[in-house]
Amino acid sequence: MSKIAVIGTGYVGLTTGACFAHLGHDVVCVDIDEDKVARLQRGEIPILEAGLDNLVREGLQDGRLRFVVGAATAVGDCDFAYLCVPTPQGADGSADLSYIEEAAREIGPLLPAEAVVVNKSTVPVGSTRVVERALGRSDIAVVSNPEFLREGSAIHDFLNPDRIVIGAEDQSAAVKVQSLYMGIPAPVIVTDPASAETIKYAANAFLATKISFINAVAAVCEAVGADIKDVALGMGYDTRIGHEFLKPGPGWGGSCFPKDTRAMVRIAEDAGYDFDLLKGVVTVNDEQLQRVAAKIVDMAGGSVNGKRIAVWGLTFKARTDDLRESPSLFIIDHLVAQGAEVRAFDPSAPGPIEGIEVVDDPFAAVEGAEVLAVLTEWDEFRWLDLDKVADLMVARNVVDARNLLDRAALVRRGFEYQGIGRN
Ligand SMILES: NC(=O)c1ccc[n+]([C@@H]2O[C@H](COP(=O)([O-])OP(=O)(O)OC[C@H]3O[C@@H](n4cnc5c(N)ncnc54)[C@H](O)[C@@H]3O)[C@@H](O)[C@H]2O)c1
C-alpha cells in the first residue's frame, strides 16, 4: 500500500483521499483552510455527499486518513502527491492555473526522490509541463489522472468508475499510479498527458452538448406541440444515443461545465481551431436560463415586480450542497433584478443567500406566492402535499423547470402548469 498526500480537500480531494484510504492506502489530506481541516479532524464533513461521512470516519478510526494544514507536514515521505486544487475560469476564459502552480511550488522542495506528482484537477493541455516547472525537480515524474466523479454520487463514481485515465511520459510512473486503483474493476487508459487532459475536457464538453441539444429540442417541442418526455425517451432507446443527459432543464451549471466548456473553446482557439459547435452549446445554455426566467415572468402575468415568487431548489443539481454556478441562482438574480420577492427552499439547507429569503420548509416558501418555480430536481419535491401548496399560494401557477412534478395532479387542482418542452 502507498503513502498518498492529497493537496486540496474539496469535493474532489476529500473524495479521493477518503476512497484511497478505503482501498487501504495511507492518506494525508492537506488544505489551506484551517477551519475545514479542524472540522475534518473531528470527523465533521463540510460537504453533502452520500457515503462520504462513513468513509471519513472509517479512515480516521483505522488511522489511514489524516487531515493537516499546509503541505510541509504531508509530503515529506509520500509516494504520491495528488493535486486536487481549484482551476477556476480565468479572465480570458482559459483555466487559471495559479492554484496548481502555487501548490507545486510549495511541495517541490519537500518531495522525496521517487515520489510521483499527479494532477487530478482539470487542467488544459500542457499543464504537466507547468507543474514540472513549478516543482523545480527534474527527478520527479508528473502524471495526469483526471477525475470524472459526479457530485451527488462521488464516492460511488470514484470506486466504480467507467474508466481510469492515466497520462504520462514516464511509463513506470503510469504503472505506479495504476497500481493505486488495484481492486477497482474498470478499463484503464494509459496515454500521453495531452490526450489525458483532452479526454477530460472533451468528455465534459460532450455532456454539456447533450444537455444543450435536448434543451434546444425542448424549445422545438414547445413550438410544434410535441412532448419532450416522449421525444427524449424515443431518442434514448437508440443505444447510439442513450438515455443519460437527455433531460431538459433550466440549463447546465455547477463548478465544472461552465468553466470547462469555455476553457475547451479557448484551448481550441489557442491551437488555431474555431470550436464553433461548442460556442453554440454555451449560447444555447445562456438562452435556456433566460427562457426559464421569462416563463416565470409570464406566469406572473408579465411582471414579477413586487410579487412573491417561490423557488424549490437552489443547488445546481440534486443530492449536493454545491451552489457554484447554479442555474437556480442565475434565474433568481434575474427575477430579483426585476423586483421579485423570492422565498426559496432547498433540502441541502444552504443558509442565507443575499437578496432572497431562504426558508427551511417547502410550504413556508410557497406561502403568499404567485408562482412556484421548481429549479432543482430534488426527489423530495415530487411527494409534497399539493393541496397544501394550493391553499398556501395566492395564485396557482407552477413553472416546473425539471418536469419533476405530477402535471395532471396540479392541473386537477386548478394550477396553470408550464414545464420544459411540453405544453
Ligand atoms: N467538483 C467536481 O465535481 C469535479 C469533478 C471532476 C474534476 N473536478 C476538478 O477538480 C479540481 C478541484 O475541484 P473541487 O470541486 O474539488 O474544488 P474545491 O473548491 O471544492 O476544493 C479545492 C480545495 O483546495 C484547497 N486549496 C487551494 N489551494 C491550496 C493549496 N495551495 N494547498 C492546499 N489546499 C489548497 C481549497 O481550500 C479547497 O478546499 C478542479 O480542477 C475541478 O475542475 C471537479
Instruction: Note the pLDDT tens digit of each residue in 150-164.
Output: 999 999 999 999 999
Distance 194 CA to ligand 1 centre (A): 21
The C-alpha cell of 324 is what?
A: 457554484
Nearest CA to ligand 1 atom 11: 121
Distance 236 CA to ligand 1 centre (A): 33
Round to whole Å and give the CA distance between 404 and 384: 12
Q: Which residues pair with 69 in a beta bridge?
A: 31
Nearest-atom number in ligand 1 for the CA of 95 is: 41
To test the pocket of ligand 1, the residue of 37, 84, 94, 252 to mutate (highest count of ligand atoms within 8 Å of its CB) is 84
Would you say the CB of residue 102 lies under 6 angstroms from ligand 1? yes
Round to whole Å and give the CA distance between 310 and 358: 10
For residues 32-45, give the mean pLDDT: 96
Round to whole Å and give the CA distance between 71 and 28: 10
pLDDT at 423: 77
Round to whole Å and give the CA distance between 237 and 330: 33
Q: Are 250 and 328 in contact (CB under 8 A)?
A: yes
pLDDT at 156: 98
Round to whole Å and give the CA distance between 173 and 142: 8
pLDDT at 204: 98
Question: Is 256 one of the annotated active-site residues of the chain?
Answer: yes
Q: Are 422 and 227 in contact (CB under 8 A)?
A: yes
pTM of the model: 0.96
Classify residue 381 by its DSSP letter: G
Q: Give me the percent of the chain exceeding a pLDDT of 70.
A: 100
Q: Where are the alpha helices (DSSP H) in 300-384?
A: 327-337, 362-366
To test the pocket of ligand 1, the residue of 9, 11, 259 to mutate (highest count of ligand atoms within 8 Å of its CB) is 11
Instruction: Note the pLDDT tens digit of each residue in 310-339.
Output: 999 999 999 999 999 999 999 999 999 999
For residues 94-103, give the mean pLDDT: 96
Chain-wide mean pLDDT for the chain? 97
Backbone angles phi, psi at 244, to 5 degrees: -65, 140
- CB atoms closer than 10 angstroms to residue 336: 16
Distance 403 CA to ligand 1 centre (A): 32
> Which one of 19, 84, 221, 256 is the catalytic residue?
256
Distance 351 CA to ligand 1 centre (A): 22
What is the Cβ-side half-sphere exposure of residue 229, based on CA atoms within 13 angstroms?
A: 11
- Find the angle CA(178)-CA(181)-CA(184) to the nearest 5 degrees: 125
Buried b or exposed e, range 281-300, using 16+ CB within 10 angstroms: bbebbebbbebbbebbbbbb
Would you say the CB of residue 143 lies under 6 angstroms from ligand 1? no
For residues 390-408, give the mean pLDDT: 98
